[in-house]
Amino acid sequence: MLKQRILTAMVLLAVAIVFLLVLPLSWFPVLVLTIYGLMAWEWAGLTQLTEPRQRLIYLGLSVFVFVLPMVDVLQLTHTLVWQIYTFMLTLAVLIAVRLFARQGEWPAGWSTLALGFGVLWLSNFAWSVLSLVEALGVGWLLYAMSLVWVTDTGAYFSGRAFGKTKLALKVSPGKTWEGVVGGVSLAVLLSVLVAWQTDMPWWSMMVLALIVSFLSIYGDLFESALKRQVGVKDSSNMLPGHGGWLDRFDALLLAIPLFWLLWQGMMLS
């Protein structure tokens, strides 16, 4: 398993390097669209579309929604409508996680709602990624992603060392509040270092990191709840040793749009 994980990670890293550092930036949307399509395929499976034909239709609809604003996606994500839209999507995820944490399942009809939500959720992530790169550059996208990665790493080690108080037992039994504190603290420390290196306002950077890192955990929990609802361990087996694309991007689906929303709100751009 470890060998598979390492090999898959190396392949993914190589692809990322090619698209981010070798090819012209005009190729970047191709990478985003590809990953978006793969996640939409997995999402369809998790929301009980089992027939390939059904999943292809869902994939086609998802791609259609994704490309609608592509004439100027950056302008779209600077509007008040998009900002409210992103806030409401984030709020919906938080409510869904807390509901599952209390009841251990979602009520009847959840799959129909989840199908529609998936199109909105995934497309907004893709729009935010493209907007962030266009406005700020690849480096700030990697920083936003790093906030999630260090949160996950810090939460893992803090949870193992000090974890006692469960965060959401029915969703993810291994997550603890002690782990959350450790993960968020590490992300905030990273933000201070980045602010120091870039001359960005350190207080705004710390608040941004605090909110994004904490709420990114709910992105992870949301996908965990979705998988528990249908009784599967991974979103797919596309990435040997890692599961599926949704398993790798779950926290980022919430974190990247939120990062871009808060960046604008704090007038950092």
Q: What is the pLDDT of residues 49-92, one digit of tens each?
A: 888 899 899 988 888 888 876 668 888 899 999 999 999 999 99
What are the structure tokens assigned to 29, written together? 């949307």
Question: CA Rg, the chain, in Å?
Answer: 18
Question: What is the predicted pLDDT for the residue at 12?
Answer: 79
Which string of b and e fits 47-77 if b means at least 16 CB within 10 Å? bebeeeeebeebbeebbebbeebeeebeebb
Give the residues of the chain that fall short of pLDDT 50: none
Closest-CA residue to 183 (of 163, 204, 154, 158): 154
Q: DSSP secondary structure string, 147-175?
A: HHHHHHHHHHHHHHHH--SEEETTTEEEE
CB 234 within 8 A of CB 244: yes
Reported pTM = 0.93
Q: Torsion angle, CA of 212/215/220/225, rounded to 10 degrees?
A: -160
Contacts of 25 (CB under 8 A, 6+ apart): 133, 138
- Beta-carbon neighbour count of residue 6 at 10 Å? 11
Q: What is the pLDDT of residues 166-196, one digit of tens each?
A: 988 899 988 999 999 999 999 999 999 999 9
What are the structure tokens assigned to 191, written together? 């933000």
Q: Torsion angle, CA of 262/152/115/128, rounded to 10 degrees?
A: 30
Question: What is the predicted pLDDT for the residue at 140?
Answer: 94
